[in-house]
Structure 1
Amino acid sequence: MAFNATSSAVAAACLLATLSLTNAHAAISAQVSFSDLRLTLIDDNNGGSILPLPAFNPTDTSVSSVTDVGYQSDGQLGNLPGLPLPSISAATSLGSATLGGTGGSASATLGSSNDLTGQSSSSYGMSVSGTSNSMATIGYDYAYGTQGLGFPFQITLGAGTTIVLEGSYATSLNLSQQQVADLRDTMLAQKDPTRDLSYYSYSATARAGVGAYFYVDSLADPSMKSFGMGNELRVDNDLCTDCSLIDLTSQASDTFSFSYTNTTGGDLDVNLLFLAGALVDQTFSMQYAYVSPPVVPGVPEPSTYALMGLGLVGLGWAHCGHARR
């Protein structure tokens, strides 16, 4: 079907109708789970002996699921003295996140082109996009804008002591190349056949993992320690045409151990920010080549013709007078 833009509203409506007819072969999805989360306090001044954990300062936890079709964050944020974690959850139609005890999870999916809600169209081109992002968060920091009352997951470390965070995680990713190709082909079929494209591009991503920070005051702390573990699948303008396409899959699992040592010589309040997240997105855009409007020669006004005639008459009189002399 040829696409001829008349107005952005009509074009977007046509685009939505076309996408609703597209049948996806498989989802683009991402999941992450973590478990056995534990904290250990070690006295480096006494041969690395393990100390009992002191009480934590008031702490926030949160879960959120953010998509183009809705947002939910748990309303009962846990103000807790440490582990175990309170049981909280949040979900939308395209994702979910949970926390509880010593573990949690996050998942996100785009099951079909119907989940792509960022359609736009104009005389310049067309684009469509969709995103689902879920996250389970322990702690709080303004740099991440995590939901909560603003209290970090904080512990006071004595001089020469080390705090260790340990746990395990697992991720599972799926990216349907056929779903990406279907969207690409559907959108290209909407191109105005009378116009050339300057470019078109498409991409899809599935990503999941865990990460954490130990820091003082803020993430700008020069002594901040961090780690991140996970995996990603991505398609970026690199699918063949008229060939067999497969589902890309990836699974990963591992343990982690992450520490921060107080070397200041005095007591130090250290914050922990832990995140487990899943993200999927899919986009397509194309832009028509710019065509300069044709230059139309100006048509002289009648008064211009009259002035030209008078000028020619004047030249004629001058010529005749010169000839008589």
Structure 2
Amino acid sequence: MRRLMSRYGIIWLMALLLVLGTLSGCSGGQGQQAPGSIDKWSFATDHEFSVRPDGLPELLKIYGFEFDDIKIMDLGVTYGALKDGQVAAAMGFATDGRIAAFNLVNLEDDKKFFPVYNPAPVLRKEVIDRYPELEEILGKISPLLDTETMINLNAQVDVENKDPKEVARQWLLEKGLIKEEAPAPTKGKIVVGSKEFTEQLILGAMTLQVLTDAGFEAVDNTGLAGSEVVRKALTTGEIDVYWEYTGTAWLVHLGHEEPLTDSEECFNRVKEEDLAKHHLVWLDYAPFDNTYTIMMRKADAEALGIKTISDLARVINEGKRLGRNR
């Protein structure tokens, strides 16, 4: 539950994007078999998503299929269960580094069931008014962060055990966004915050380093806690900037009940409402969407021609019509 707690605090989970992971040579709880030989369509998920009316029950209803078995486990365990062949599919986070490391693949949510969670730097209006150049400085990061890039960066920390600050530094150097030697501070102080999970620590480290490179006195207050704590730190002036997810702002901070599934629409509505109500400024969002997802082992997905959740539904339903599993 680590990322759930970090993203939403202890308030609630609005949407889970399922990640179906497929690892070469394993099958759903049946040990080593040829890719695509799924004896039983078992699915790993956490308890909350399995019972929420806007979770797994609604997903299965919209896509029109049923798994043979639902295995309840801690969210962080689902990746390993899928990799080891204990299940045929599992839920997870779309940019988790274990997806690539474990040879898993995300299935496209082609019916747009899950809300969007694109991250963007958020600042108080007084901060951006004082230092308008921050928009250009921080704006260089966002467009370069696609899904593949974020999965790779997360994997360097979670799988290879590298330090988030060093991972961020090397990436920024490779992209030409910072220099090898940072200049002495000549501008004001900017306090950078973040939530406590890997992806947020990396984004926070990137922010600190580009600000330092631009001559600001960047103060590290990253790794605070979950969404509610970091948001409060921003609004009360404890920090000046952090990266927030559009879906989290829309559903949690702004209190809307209906999720949004279009990245541009969600960003624009959050940006407008947060400025009007809370004097918070959202800079441009990153392309990657760290929503929840359904995964399969890559070898199984390729063998069965499964790229989308609709493909998964078709394969499962065809197997049932034939009176057997695929």
Question: Common fold, TM-score beyond 0.5?
Answer: no
TM range (shorter): under 0.3
Larger Rg: 1
Q: Whose RCO is larger (CA < 8 A, sep 6+)?
A: 2
Greater fraction of residues in strand: 1
Superposition TM-score, scaled by structure 1 size:
0.21
Superposition TM-score, scaled by structure 2 size:
0.21
